[in-house]
């Protein structure tokens, strides 16, 4: 209860934040993470200004998007859910037909002005659609609702798998599944679903692409091919392990700066951070991530209707999945899947999507209807 009092005080103290529909604590957490991200990206890119400049521009765009979405009340967001979802599905279908091929997969859609991945839309549109459906029907959901939600979730996931982009498909499905779980999906159904997934693993294996299978095998035994498939994970663990308690210092990580570590600006930037700032730095970083996640869950707790609650919780948990999958992959707990470290890895579209999600959280937090 004390925390709530503090929040009330903060809301009263500041006048700028409520006016801009921003949540001060969430914003602080995001800015700190982005600041750390820029510092480590500067180091990971070999003290390159160009990479950092581009990332700063992206961050600027992303924060503008966040600010814009924060101004939109959740009722409007709820009404946009269906059109946005349908638009996303159509674009995904279009990508499969006429998308650009990048790195062996069709993910990009060229709209003349910008190139973007429609699958990014679905990271937001899927939980929005699920939340809207539950909101408009009932909570907890009936079995029939579960079936409808399953279609809502699996349709975009199936389209994304076709690109093929297993990682994003799983993230999109997970975001929808989180909304369903938070809606009160009965434990019996959850257990049944988990059992079904377990049963599907061999089937999934059969349908995997060769490079995907290779990643799983490499994860299980990276030493089998230290210079080939296992190289990433071995060098990444060396970077993390050699960081020790205090790290080698900013700009001093030899694994990163002598370029032994691959993908150091993007997917493996976590290892660069671990090498240069050590365990203590990592604990600070993880604490910041925890702070952002729990701030999001708290917004969900204080939200005013089912749609808001489900959407806020699903977005926060998706963010959590990003962090833990990337950290787990880089530290050798999970197979290598192409998931960036949110707010820190160098990269474009996913940054905007993330900040758009945080904009929704802020909107939910700051557009309260006074119920007296």
Partner 1 sequence: MGIRDHLDDPLAVRRLFFFRLLWAGAVVLLVFGGLTWRLVHLQVVQHDHFDTLSEDNRIRLRPIPPRRGLIYDRNGALLAENLPSYRLDLIPEEIDDLPATLAALGRLIALDEQDIARFEKARRQHRQFDPVPLRYQLTPEELARFAVEQAHLPGVEIAATLTRWYPYGPAAAHVIGYVGAIDTDDLKRLDKRDYAGTRHIGKAGVERWYEDLLHGAPGHEQQEVNVQGRALRTLAETPQTPGQDLYLSLDIDLQLAAAQALGERRGAVVAIEPGTGEVLALVSNPAYDNNLFIDGIDSKTYRALNADPGRPLFNRALFGQYPPGSTVKPFLGLADVDIGRPLGNSGVYCNGGFKLPSATRIYRDWKRTGHGRTDLTKAIEQSCDVYFYQLSLSLGVDRIHDYLTRFGFGHKTGIDLPGERAGLVPSKAWKRATRNESWYIGETLITSIGQGFNLATPLQLADATATLAARGVAAAPRVARAAISPLDGQYTALAPALEPPVTLREPRGWDIVHGAMHDVLFAPRGTARASAAGAAYQYAGKTGTAQVFGLGQDEEYDAETIAENLRDHALFIAFAPLESPTIALAVVVEHGGSGSGTAAPIARQVLDAYLDRPALGPEQPMQVSAR
Residues that bind partner 1 (CB under 8 A): 135-140, 178, 181-184, 235, 237-245, 254-255, 258-260, 274, 278-279, 282-283, 286, 289-290, 293-294, 297, 300-301, 306, 309, 313, 317, 320, 324, 327-328, 331-333
Contacts of residue 293, defined as CB under 8 A and 6 or more positions apart, other chains included, come to 316, 317, 319, 320, 323
Nearest residue (CB) to partner 1, 89 versus 274:
274
Rounded CA-CA distance 189/170 in Å is: 19
CB of 155 to partner 1, least distance (A): 23
Choose between 69 and 288: whose C-beta lies nearer to partner 1.
288
Measuring CA to CA, which residue among 296, 344, 307, 354 is closest to residue 171?
A: 354
> Which residue number, 116 or 322, has a Cβ lying nearer to partner 1?
322
Least distance from partner 1 to the Cβ atom of residue 71, Å: 26
Q: Which residue's CB is nearer to partner 1, number 14 or number 226?
A: 226
For the record, the structure tokens of 221 come out as 């035994």
- Say whether 102 sits in a helix, a strand or coil: strand
Closest listed residue to residue 124, CA positions, set 194, 50, 175: 175
Give me the least distance between CB of 136 and partner 1, in Å please: 6
Three-state SS at 101? strand
Pick between residue 93 and residue 301 the one whose CB is nearest to partner 1.
301
The span from the CA of 329 to the CA of 166, in Å, is: 15
- The whole-angstrom separation of Cα 161 and Cα 151 is 15
Which H helix or E strand runs over 198? helix 187-207
Instruction: Kindly tell me which of 58 and 264 has the beta carbon lying closer to partner 1.
Output: 264
**Among candidate residues 242, 145, 128, the one with its CA nearest the CA of residue 186:** 145
C-beta of 73 vs 332, nearer to partner 1? 332
User: What's the CA gap between 32 and 222, in Å, rounded?
Assistant: 34
Specify whether the CB–CB gap between 357 and 66 falls below 8 A.
no
Nearest to partner 1 of 239, 352 (CB atom): 239
To partner 1, the closest distance from the beta carbon of 19 in angstroms equals 29
Q: How far is the CB of 95 from partner 1 (least distance, A)?
A: 32
For residue 361, the minimal CB distance to partner 1 (Å) is 14
* Residues linked to residue 8 through DSSP beta bridges, in sequence order: none
Q: Taking the complex as a whole, how short is the minimal distance between the CB of residue 12 and partner 1, in angstroms?
A: 25
For the bound state, the minimum distance from the C-beta of residue 306 to partner 1, rounded and expressed in Å, comes to 7
Cα torsion 132, 137, 143, 144 to 10°: value is -90
């Amino acid at each position: 209860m004390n925390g709530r009092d503090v929040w009330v005080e903060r809301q009263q103290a500041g006048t700028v934040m409520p006016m801009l529909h921003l949540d001060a604590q969430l914003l602080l957490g995001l800015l700190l993470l982005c600041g750390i991200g820029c510092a480590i990206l500067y180091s990971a890119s070999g003290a390159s200004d160009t990479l950092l400049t581009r990332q700063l521009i992206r961050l600027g765009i992303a924060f503008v998007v966040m600010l814009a979405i924060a101004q939109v009340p959740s009722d409007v967001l709820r009404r946009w859910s269906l059109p946005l979802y349908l638009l996303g599905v159509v674009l995904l279908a279009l990508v499969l037909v006429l998308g650009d091929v990048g790195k062996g997969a069709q993910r990009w859609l060229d709209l003349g002005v910008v190139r973007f991945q429609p699958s990014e839309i679905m990271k937001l549109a899927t939980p929005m659609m699920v939340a809207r459906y539950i909101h408009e029907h009932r909570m907890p959901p009936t079995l029939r609702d579960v079936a409808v939600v399953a279609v809502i979730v699996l349709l975009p996931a199936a389209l994304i798998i076709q690109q093929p982009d297993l990682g994003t498909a799983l993230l999109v499905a997970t975001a929808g599944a989180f909304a369903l779980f938070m809606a009160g999906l009965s434990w019996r159904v959850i257990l049944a679903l988990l059992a079904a997934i377990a049963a599907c693993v061999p089937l999934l294996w059969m349908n995997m692409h060769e490079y995907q299978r290779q990643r799983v095998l490499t994860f299980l035994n990276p030493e089998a091919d230290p210079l080939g498939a296992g190289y990433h994970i071995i060098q990444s663990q060396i970077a993390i392990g050699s960081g020790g308690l205090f790290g080698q210092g900013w700009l001093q990580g030899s694994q990163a700066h002598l370029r032994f570590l691959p993908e150091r600006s993007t997917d493996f930037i976590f290892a660069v951070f671990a090498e240069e700032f050590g365990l203590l730095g990592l604990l600070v970083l993880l604490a910041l991530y925890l702070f952002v996640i729990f701030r999001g869950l708290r917004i969900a707790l204080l939200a005013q209707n089912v749609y808001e609650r489900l959407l806020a919780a699903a977005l926060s948990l998706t963010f959590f999945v990003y962090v833990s999958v990337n950290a787990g992959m880089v530290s050798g707990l999970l197979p290598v899947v192409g998931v960036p470290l949110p707010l820190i890895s160098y990269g474009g579209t996913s940054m905007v999507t993330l900040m758009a999600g945080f904009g929704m959280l802020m909107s939910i937090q700051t557009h309260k209807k006074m119920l007296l």
